[in-house]
């Protein structure tokens, strides 16, 4: 019988919700989200620590020690990267064992068409995932193509979040041809079409979308259903216009995310503390905006 995820997070005592963490290995460390070359290249690019591939059990313990919750996911880029994906079903089942600190997102390969739609429905209805992670550059698809609109329609109907990688990626960085990964698929302007055509679908643009940060800010201020997570970059490198808008127009639209294990929340938070962010905005970014987006209650869920 499927162990369906139901959150059991004590929000009142929670320091933060990290909305962007990766599961890179299965529980037995037999299967990995990326091949050896890409794992090594990304670790070098991000200067990651020793544990580049934590299991979901290790990640849960890590965040429990810090009194944080974390959104966890993998990326199903089976077609785009020609590499078998980790199981989103297994990730959701394991997250259910750590429902006090983990919130599972699923991932489906958009290029699988109707099969991806069916899998997405199953992940929500049977496994309880709260959203889906897409990486257009790794999955090699243009997000605004009508080919993928049935998938977005299903996510909108199911009331879950769609989180899209935007901007630069460290995956493939420094390898010949970037291992064939094309950055243009991660232009946030492609998501403006999706946000306009699916106004009931909550969309998160992951990462400061360098080199398209101004476009990202414009979309998030124009479309009520679009958010930005700040993962993947140390805050000391944030573009100044993004910091400025976080303090003002985007204060209810920006989310704390680390990109763990590529970037640790400890490093991210240390650098974020040095930014001139208003106290009331810090609270929104660190937890309150995510509570609202993920439809978590103010009481113990």
> What is the reported pLDDT for 228?
98
Question: The pTM is what?
Answer: 0.94
> What is the reported pLDDT for 299?
39
Write a three-state SS string for 116-163. HHHHHHHHHHCCCCCEEEECHHHHCCCCCCHHHHHHHHHHHHHCCEEE
> What is the reported pLDDT for 90?
96
Alpha helices in 159-273 (DSSP H): 189-197, 213-222, 240-246, 265-272
Average pLDDT, the chain: 93
> What is the reported pLDDT for 29?
76
Q: How far is CA 233 from CA 5, 42, 52, 142, 250, in A?
A: 30, 14, 17, 24, 18
> What is the reported pLDDT for 130?
98
pLDDT in tens, 217-242: 999 999 999 999 999 999 999 999 99
> What is the reported pLDDT for 28?
76
CATH 3.40.50.1100 fits 11-293, yes or no: no
pLDDT in tens, 17-61: 999 999 988 887 778 777 778 767 766 666 655 566 788 999 999
Any idea what DSSP says for residue 84? P
Rounded distance between C-alpha atoms, residue 161 and residue 53, angstroms: 25
Q: Phi and psi dihedrals of 222, rounded to 5?
A: -90, -35
Question: Where do we find the tokens 């650098």?
Answer: 271
Rg over CA atoms, the chain: 17
> What is the reported pLDDT for 1?
56
Residue numbers of the chain with a pLDDT score lower than 70: 1-2, 39, 42-52, 298-301
> What is the reported pLDDT for 295?
95
């Amino acid at each position: 019988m499927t162990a369906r995820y139901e959150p059991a997070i004590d929000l009142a005592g929670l320091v933060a919700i990290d909305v962007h963490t990766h599961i890179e290995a299965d529980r037995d460390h037999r299967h990995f989200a990326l091949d050896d070359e890409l794992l090594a290249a990304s670790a070098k690019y991000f200067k990651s620590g020793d544990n580049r591939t934590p299991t979901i059990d290790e990640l849960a313990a890590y965040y429990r020690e810090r009194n944080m919750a974390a959104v966890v996911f993998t990326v199903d880029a089976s077609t785009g990267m020609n590499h078998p994906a980790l199981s989103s079903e297994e990730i959701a089942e394991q997250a259910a064992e750590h429902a006090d600190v983990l919130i599972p997102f699923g991932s489906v390969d958009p290029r699988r068409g109707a099969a991806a739609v069916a899998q997405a429905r199953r992940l929500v209805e049977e496994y309880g995932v709260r959203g889906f992670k897409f990486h257009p550059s790794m999955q090699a698809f243009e997000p605004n193509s009508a080919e993928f609109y049935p998938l977005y329609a299903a996510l909108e109907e199911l009331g879950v979040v769609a989180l899209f990688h935007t901007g630069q990626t460290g995956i493939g960085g420094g390898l010949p041809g970037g291992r064939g990964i094309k950055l243009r698929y991660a232009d946030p302007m492609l998501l403006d079409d999706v946000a306009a055509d699916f106004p009931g679908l909550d969309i998160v643009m992951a990462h400061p979308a360098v080199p398209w940060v101004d476009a990202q800010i414009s979309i998030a201020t124009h479309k009520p259903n679009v958010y930005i997570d700040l993962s993947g970059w140390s805050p000391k490198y944030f573009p100044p216009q993004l910091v400025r808008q976080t303090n003002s127009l985007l204060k209810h639209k920006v989310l704390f995310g680390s990109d763990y294990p590529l970037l640790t929340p400890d490093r991210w938070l240390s650098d974020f503390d040095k930014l001139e962010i208003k106290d009331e905005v810090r609270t929104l970014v660190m937890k309150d905006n995510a509570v609202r987006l993920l439809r978590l209650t103010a009481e113990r869920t």
